[in-house]
Each structure stands twice: as structure tokens, then as C-alpha cells.
Amino acid sequence: MSPEERQLLQGVFDRMRNNSSAPRDNDADRLIADNVRQQPYSPYFLTQAVIVQEQALQAANQRIQQLEQEASNRPAQSGGGGGFLSSIFGGGSSSAPPAPQRAPVWNQGGTGQGAPQQGYAPQQGGPWG
């Protein structure tokens, strides 16, 4: 065991000692004691689990703080078009690629020769004319 591991283990038991006077559920206390008697190795694994979870919480908290710091350092977006759908509909950033050209959509009339939908000019010289 390394000195760091020893310190982590001792920290868990120090915190338990500091909270030993906290109220406990008698039924839960009995169940835990019964299981520890049946599985005497369980405190080892429970202590490991506590340490791993504490380390994960510390890492997550550090990451949250880092992301919050990064977010607070970003310049605020100016109003007018930088919303949720702006990348789809062309608002917001001027570096966005242009919207793709839409092909005409023909009305369904059964003959394939229906008029184009509103906003589109008919194609010249297509297979039907």
C-alpha cells in the first residue's frame, strides 16, 4: 500500500469517526452488521467503493468548474439570429456554409406534369416538355 492509499483509507475512517454520533436506523444497522458477519471481507470492498466514488466526484466537480470557467470567459453572442435553429436556417454566424440549393418539388397529379409548388419556376426542356 502506498502512502497516498494509506492516507485515503485513513481519511474514510476519520470521517466515520467524526460522524459516529449521528443518528442511525436500527434496522439498517442490524442488517449491515449481519452481512458483515456473513461476509467479513465486505468492509474492504465497501471502503474501496467509497474511495473510488469520492475520487470520481472530485474529478467531476473539477470538470464542472473548468467548464463553468470556460463558459464565463466566452464572449457573449450578440442578439439577432444566434439561436437553436440558426445553423439550419442561415442566421447567426457568418462563417456558416451557404444553404444548399433546393430542387423543384412537383405536385402529385398522377401524370408527372403538375405545376411546381409555389416559389419554384418550372424547369425548361425536361422530359415532359
Q: Tell me: the pLDDT tens digits for 17-32?
A: 998 889 999 999 999 9
pLDDT of residue 106: 45
Residues 70-95 have a mean pLDDT of 66
Torsion 108-113-117-120 (CA) sign? positive
The H-assigned helical ranges of the chain are 3-18, 26-38, 42-73, 86-89
Kindly indicate the confidence band of residue 66, based on its pLDDT and cuts at 50, 70 and 90. very high
pLDDT at 77 over 70: no
pLDDT digits (tens, 9 = 90+) for 98-129: 555 555 444 444 444 444 444 444 455 544 44
Q: Is 125 helix (H, G, I), strand (E, B) or coil?
A: coil
Kindly indicate the confidence band of residue 74, based on its pLDDT and cuts at 50, 70 and 90. confident
Kindly indicate the confidence band of residue 73, based on its pLDDT and cuts at 50, 70 and 90. confident
Write down the residue that cell numbers 436506523 correspond to: 25
pLDDT of residue 102: 52
**Residue 106 CB partners (closer than 8 Å, separation 6+):** 112, 114, 115, 116, 117
In order of 19, 20, 28, 50, the CA distances from 24 in angstroms are 10, 9, 8, 19
